[in-house]
Amino acid sequence: MSRVAVIEIGCANTASVLFALERLGAEAVLSSDANEIAAAERVVLPGVGAAGFAMSRIRELGLYDTIRALKQPLLGVCLGQQLLFDSSEEGDVDCLGLIPGKVVKMDAPKPLVVPHMGWNQLEAVAEDPLTQGLNAGDYAYFVHSFVCPVTEHTLVQSTYGQPFAAMVRKDNVWGCQFHPERSSAAGAKILENFLRV
């Protein structure tokens, strides 16, 4: 089946993305090698931690141009989705610029707690190859403190204090703010769809 490169930039939690793809029968490899990533049929950009650290790792590894030049399906997960945008308020850093907009700090006044951690519902699910089989009201597992803006590129919206983009798409580039690899059936559905696009 499909060969997927999971970009390894030195952030934790890449193993769980790899395992989720393997559960679906995909041949997935962790890689920070530009040639290997460019040659993969599909690419996943996972990530937890801080945007500034992740972007400096992407540049150090010489992957900035590689990722931007990908024509095959690319899926950013969690921080990986945020890195797809123009810039992030977290560390005031320029990101990959594949999706227009700026990632901002979550506005979650008391009694809400930050990070937004746990299972939240997907709302306003737009039609897309990646959202096939997903329904508004399905739960997904989120862990984040910064949010991507709701724009024309938003596929799925969620709300925590404010509405934000839970899934995005522009051309060959998709993003999930939640962790599909930890979102049980709904997450597996999205990854399965990604392996088919």
Residues identified as active-site: 78, 179, 181
Per-position x/- string for 135-154, each x denoting binding to other proteins as judged by CB under 8 A, each - no binding: ----x-x-xxx---------
14 binds other proteins (CB under 8 A): yes
Positive or negative, the CA dihedral 19, 30, 73, 56 is positive
- Give yes or no for residue 121 binding other proteins (CB under 8 A): yes
Span of 46-54, 81-89, 96-104, 125-133 interacting with other proteins by CB under 8 A: 46-54
Q: How far is the CB of 140 from other proteins (least distance, A)?
A: 10
116 touches other proteins by CB under 8 A: yes
* Contact of 139 with 186, CB cutoff 8 Å: yes
The answer to whether residues 115 and 50 touch, using CB atoms and an 8 Å cutoff, is no
- H or E segment and range at residue 82: helix 79-84
Residue 185's contacts (CB-CB under 8 Å, 6 or more residues apart) are: none
| Nearest distance from C-beta of residue 171 to other proteins, angstroms | 29
The answer to whether 160 contacts other proteins (rule: CB under 8 A) is yes
Q: Tell me the torsion sign for CA atoms 16, 22, 167, 139.
A: negative
DSSP state at residue 123: B
Task: Assess 183 for contact with other proteins (CB under 8 A).
Answer: yes
Tell whether residue 184 is a contact of other proteins (CB under 8 A): yes
Strands 139-144 and 116-121: antiparallel
- By the criterion CB under 8 A, which residues form the site for other proteins? 11-16, 19-20, 22-23, 48-50, 110-111, 113-121, 139, 141, 143-145, 159-160, 179, 181-185, 187-188
